[in-house]
């Protein structure tokens, strides 16, 4: 089964979306998932829905690579997610069809590009950190929720609830539950019934 995915970067681009849907339908896609949004924040619920929908032997079809990805790394990640379900991907503008040997070869080239892109990104990051350190501006990573475990434990022992602890320490409630779970050996689901030991 051919499954299409169409996306435009803004809700105003309805004509562009309609063109994609028409092309995908013309190619024989029995189901087309439509999405409005930039995808910059990686929130593409309809793409996730399309990947969840496909079954072994299906092919996910898009008109261009930027419909499903923002970079070579992102594209590879999406393709791998589809292939993990026993399905393949077809990108019309690039002539990529992972069901064919040439498509698999192109994907291999993309993998090399993605690795190169990742290396460049890490190199720029290292250079930026080195420059910041030289100027005395580098502060390192911000404290994580795990780094606040002692604070969570202390407030919990004082009888404070998970929501109050999360608000006070500016971390998520889920992080509080994870830390308390590690402290008590209890599952997250049962932590609401766990009381701190009395002094």
pLDDT class of 53 with cuts at 50, 70, 90: very high
Tokens 């996910």 locate to 60
Q: Is 38 a catalytic residue?
A: no
Q: Report the CATH number at residue 16.
A: 3.40.50.1390
Q: Report the CATH number at residue 160.
A: 1.10.10
pLDDT class of 163 with cuts at 50, 70, 90: confident
Structure tokens, 87: 């399905």
Are residue 102 and residue 162 in the same domain, yes or no?
A: no
Structure tokens, 110: 């993309």
Q: Which domain holds residue 150?
A: 146-193
Are residue 12 and residue 68 in the same domain, yes or no?
A: yes
**Does a structural domain hold residue 199?**
no
Are residue 72 and residue 153 in the same domain, yes or no?
A: no
Are residue 169 and residue 78 in the same domain, yes or no?
A: no
- Residue of 9, 71, 93, 150 with catalytic role: 9
Are residue 100 and residue 154 in the same domain, yes or no?
A: no
Cα dist from 162 to 145, 153, 189, whole Å: 13, 11, 13
Tell which residue, 110, 24, 113, has the closest CA to residue 67: 24
Residues in the chain: 199
Encode pLDDT of 108-157 as tens digits: 787 777 677 777 778 888 888 888 888 877 666 555 666 678 788 888 87
Q: Do 25 and 32 contact (CB within 8 A), yes or no?
A: yes
**Average pLDDT in the chain:** 80
Encode pLDDT of 54-99 as tens digits: 999 999 999 988 888 877 777 888 888 999 999 999 998 888 888 8
Task: Say whether pTM exceeds 0.85.
Answer: no
Rounded distance, CA 60 to CA 51, Å? 8
In order, the DSSP letters of the chain are: -EEEEEEESSTT-HHHHHHHHHHHHHTT-SEEEEEES--TTS--HHHHHHHHH--TT-EEEESSGGGT-SSHHHHHHHHHHHHTTT-EEEEGGGTEETTSHHHHHHHHHHHHHHHHHHHHHHHHHHHHHHHHHHTT----SPPPTGGGHHHHHHHHHTT--HHHHHHHHT--HHHHHHHHHHHH---GGGGGG--PPP-
What local confidence, expressed as pLDDT, does residue 49 receive?
A: 93
**The last residue of a domain, from among 88, 110, 132:** 110
CA 40 vs. chain centroid, Å, equals: 11
Are residue 79 and residue 16 in the same domain, yes or no?
A: yes
Are residue 36 and residue 86 in the same domain, yes or no?
A: yes
Instruction: Assess whether pLDDT exceeds 70 at residue 195.
Output: no
Q: Do 111 and 80 contact (CB within 8 A), yes or no?
A: no
Count of the separate structural domains present in the chain: 2
Are residue 159 and residue 100 in the same domain, yes or no?
A: no
């Amino acid at each position: 089964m051919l499954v299409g995915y169409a996306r435009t970067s803004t809700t105003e681009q309805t004509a562009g979306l309609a063109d994609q849907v028409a092309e995908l339908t013309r190619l024989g896609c029995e189901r087309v998932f439509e999405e409005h949004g930039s995808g910059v924040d990686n929130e593409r619920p309809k793409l996730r829905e399309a990947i969840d929908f496909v079954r072994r032997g299906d092919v996910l079809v898009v008109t261009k690579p930027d419909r499903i990805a923002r970079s070579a790394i992102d594209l590879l990640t999406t393709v791998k997610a589809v292939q993990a379900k026993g399905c393949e991907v077809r990108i019309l503008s690039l002539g990529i069809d992972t069901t064919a040997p040439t498509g698999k070869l192109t994907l291999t080239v993309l993998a090399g590009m993605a690795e190169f892109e990742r290396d460049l990104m890490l190199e720029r990051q290292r250079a930026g950190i080195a420059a910041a350190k030289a100027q005395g501006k580098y502060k390192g990573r911000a404290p994580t929720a795990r780094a606040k475990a002692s604070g969570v434990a202390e407030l919990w022992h004082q009888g404070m609830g998970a929501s109050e602890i999360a608000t006070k320490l500016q971390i998520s409630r889920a992080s509080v539950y994870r830390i308390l779970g590690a402290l008590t050996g209890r599952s997250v689901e049962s932590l609401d019934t766990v009381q701190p030991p009395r002094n």
